[in-house]
Amino acid sequence: MGYEGIGASVRRREDLRFLSGRGTYTDDINRPHQAYAVIVRSPHAHARIRGIDISAARSAPGVIAVFTGADMAAEKIGGLPCGWQVKNKDGTPMAEPPHPVLAIGKVRHVGDPVAVVIAETKAQARDAAERIAIEWEVLPAAATMEAALQPGAPSVHDDVPGNVCYDWHLGDKAAVDAAFAKACKVARLELVNNRLIPNAMEPRCAVGEYDAATGDYTLWTTSQNPHVIRLLMGAFVLNIPEHKLRVVAPDVGGGFGSKIYHYAEEAIVTWAAGKLKRPVKWTADRTESFTSDAHGRDHVTEAELALDDQGRFLALRVRTLANMGAYLSTFAPCVPTYLYATLLAGVYTTPAIYAEVKAVFTNTVPVDAYRGAGRPEATFLLERLVDIAALEMGIDRVEIRRRNFIPKDAFPYQTPVALQYDSGDYHRTLDEALKAANWDTFEQRRAEAARRGKLRGIGISTYIEACGIAPSAVVGSLGARAGLYEVANIRVNPTGSITVFTGTHSHGQGHETTFAQLIADRFGVPMSQVEIVHGDTAKVPFGMGTYGSRSLAVGGSAIVRASDKIIAKAKRIAAHLLEASVEDIDFKDGMFRVAGTDRVKSFAEVSLAAYVPHNYPIEELEPGLEETAFYDPKNFTFPAGCHICEVEIDPETGEVEVVNFTAVDDVGRVINPMIVEGQVQGGVAQGIGQALLETCVYDEAGQLLSGSMMDYTMPRADDVPCIQVGTAVTMCTHNPLGVKGCGEVGAIGAPPAVIGAVVDALRDYGVRHIDMPATSQRIWRILDAGRQRLAAE
């Protein structure tokens, strides 16, 4: 056994079962006497339901039941709740229209669930679903934010005229106006942050079961946070008390945010299982994933940056429209507000910032957090604007960033948009990235590419993000309807092996390895003696799950706190066994030692004594060795870094190839460098996907044109270069590990670096900005227009 503690690139323990097909995903769960649900979904973006005739389906072979929204309403089943309330500028709450589990009266997007058919087999349920006759009154759709905000636009919700969910702002408008009035230069940019469809490898799935003997419900579901689902579904939708409802999220094949939310199908299978007294399974096909998983991003923004004559940022003004889709998904309202506008200072000393965000309902799939959630939108906007300011002022892109960086001696640094950064060294991440990417010799590579007929460009982003969400009191004051602490329960077994129950959930992040390394490091035991348990509300204390790169910063901190409690108690037991004073006991490498002597007890011996307390300080200490810690973070954490991208464009076709990518990130202390590298690479691949390939397209009628893998361009292995990943660490100052988070940095840092490179490659064509995705067609149009302009001259 080599070193397994903090800093070791231990291979992921979970990979053997994933790579050899031995994982247990929700669809692998099959219960005795199980029935199958198929959801009938709206083919229309916006329509009134005049009638539903289920008689033919009800009598079809194998059909057990057919339910519609009316059946759920008759049993007073609640709508899907929203977990965050944002307030308007005037202090009034946002519009929060109902989100029925099955549509009632009207459908609001293609894919909106209308009915469920439950049959003996999935094929029978599908056959019967086709026999449901729905009489539609098709209504005009508000398929885009532009359409939804037109006077006289169709109302997505009848009681939300104008389709505005909220009109929110942050920052000091007067200070910003004053700064603009005296600015030497104003850089302006209008941009679209393209809408994305998450497409986790594993489609969503849910299995509901009801035990008539005990009255207990169980839901197996593809979730990033089973306790949150239990709370939302039990308390707000189905009215099942928590002690009678168990939610299990077993192996989950990717989430990227899309599996945070409480979805209709979870409530449907649980409720139906109770009614039918049979387990009910629903598994999405890929088409359903496209039309029912929450989408991501989808902003339209105008921004202005005021600068002095030296290129120093004086103020930033931002106006953003954010698409909510047809209903408010669980955390949708906070994404374009508290996870977006609060990041608009970036890594810069901009003294005044004012942001206005209008959230808009449209007849599209709900939009919610997707890897990065608000922070990629803020970063893309800011970094593009900084590039444009540099271009228009004739200042080098690197130099303008240096002039505006928050210096490393300025921490803790209070931004004008609410956040207080605890640590960072932005010059260092920049310097290391420039060096690793050979920035200084780029012009040679550009010239060499030109000889091959290619247009080569280089782009840079210096980003920051906020993760480790979050201090409960802070998010509560901002409208969160949940606490955001994390929990760990550590159970030392009698022979000294250790079981850790964590409230976080691993769906690709490698917690079973990283957390076991933490324990191995803390207790001096081999990783083989450590089991990490997550994803089951019947086993784990109430935890908040995994999203926002929070698992190590918040969940790992809870593990440290619980470990400290275990060690404190074990020292008292060891002191008794060694007949020494507890102050004299050292614990190191798995051995309790009376300081300065050779008198020792192993961790296993102490553990056994705790459970076989024959020789034990029973008067002052309870037997057993098990501790729980709930850790509520003091602040967010602030990973930051520098990403540099080089592209080559084929001027004949407009094709872009990413030829080099360098990421130097400050993610705080690194527990497992290999896992961090993998997280950064995955994030960068998604960032390249957003920048060059992916986009969700609806037509004017609200039909999804990019509704399959035939038309939605996911990044593939050959779209992504070999990514050079480095870290330049400053410690987080407020959590016990000094960790910050690494899950989202790639998706946040990459897009502006890629687009910056594309724009740089096209510099001779008069391009200052190009919206994402920079597809070959979009670039060809620019090239073609440029050539035609040249020909005309």
Partner 1 sequence: MYEFAYHRPASVAEAAKLLAADPEAKLISGGMSLIPVLKQRLARPSALIDLGAIPDLVGISVTATTVTVKGRTTHAAVAASAEVRQAIPALAELASHIGDAQVRNRGTIGGSIAHHDPTADYPAAVLALGATVNTSRRSIAADDFFTGLFATALEPDEIVTAVDFPIPEKAAYVKFPNPASRYAMVGVFVAKGPMGVRVAVTGAGANGVFRHAAMEEALAKSWSPEALEGITTPAEHLNTDIHASREYRAHLIGVMAKRAVAKAG
Nearer to partner 1, 127 or 666 (CB): 127
- Residue 539 CB, nearest distance to partner 1 (Å)? 38
Alpha carbon 509 to its chain's center: 12
**Other beta carbons within 10 Å of 197:** 22
Q: How far is the CB of 435 from partner 1 (least distance, A)?
A: 33
Nearer to partner 1, 70 or 697 (CB): 697
Q: How far is CA 769 from the centre of its chain?
A: 27
HSE-up of residue 120 (Cα within 13 Å, Cβ side): 5
Q: How far is the CB of 440 from partner 1 (least distance, A)?
A: 33
Pick 75 or 711: Cβ nearer partner 1 = 711
Helix (H) or strand (E) holding 487: strand 486-492
Would you call 491 helix, strand, or coil by DSSP? strand
Give CA–CA dist 342/355, Å, rounded.
9
Secondary structure (3-state) at 270: helix
Q: What are phi and psi of 64, to 5 degrees?
A: -100, -40
Q: Distance between CA atoms of 498 and 129, rounded to whole angstroms?
A: 49
Going across the sheet that includes 591-594, the strands are 585-588, 591-594, 600-602
DSSP reduced 3-state for 597: coil
* Cβ nearer to partner 1, comparing 641 with 751: 751
Cβ of residue 690: shortest distance to partner 1, in angstroms?
14
User: For residue 94, which of 82, 107, 85, 104 has the smallest C-alpha distance?
Assistant: 85
Nearer to partner 1, 27 or 127 (CB): 127
As measured in angstroms, the least distance from the Cβ of 85 to partner 1 is 36
| Residues 143, 559: Cα–Cα separation, whole Å | 46
Nearer to partner 1, 212 or 710 (CB): 710
For the chain, the helix, strand and coil percentages under 3-state DSSP, each to the nearest 5: 35, 25, 40
φ/ψ (deg, to 5) at 92: -75, 155
Residue whose CB is less far from partner 1, 19 or 709: 709
Report the nearest approach of partner 1 to the CB of residue 45 (Å).
17
Question: What DSSP assignment string belongs to 603-655?
Answer: HHHHHHHHHSTTSS-TTTS-S--EEEEEE--SS-B--EEEEEEEEEE-TTT--
Nearer to partner 1 (CB atom), residue 336 or residue 687? 687
Strand partners, 724: 662
Q: What is the CB neighbour count within 10 angstroms for residue 546?
A: 32
What is the closest distance, in whole angstroms, from the C-beta atom of residue 62 to partner 1 in the complex? 13
Which residue lies nearer to partner 1 by CB, 628 or 713?
713
Binding residues for partner 1, rule: CB under 8 A, are: 123, 126-127, 130, 287, 652-653, 655, 693, 697, 705-706, 709-714, 775-777, 780-781, 784
Residue 696 Cβ, how far from partner 1 at the closest point, in Å?
A: 10
Longest C-alpha distance within the chain, in Å? 97
Calculate Rg over the CA atoms of the chain. Answer: 28
C-beta of 774: minimal distance to partner 1 in Å? Answer: 11
Residues in contact with 452: Cβ distance below 8 Å, sequence separation at least 6, in sequence order:
none
State in Å, rounded, how far the first CA of the chain is from the last one.
Answer: 71
The least distance separating partner 1 from the CB of residue 767, rounded to whole angstroms, comes to 18
Q: 651 vs 741, which CB is nearer to partner 1?
A: 651
Residue number with CB closer to partner 1 (42 or 199): 199
Closest distance to partner 1 from the beta carbon of 396 (Å):
33
CA angle 421, 426, 368 (to 5 degrees): 55
- Name which of 75 and 699 has its Cβ closer to partner 1: 699
Compute the least distance from the CB of residue 537 to partner 1, in Å.
Answer: 35
- Give which of 158, 80, 85, 86 is closest to 112, Cα–Cα: 80
Q: How far is the CB of 746 from partner 1 (least distance, A)?
A: 21
Strand blocks (E) in 326-474: 352-361, 413-414, 420-421, 455-464
Residue nearer to partner 1 on the CB measure, 726 or 773: 773
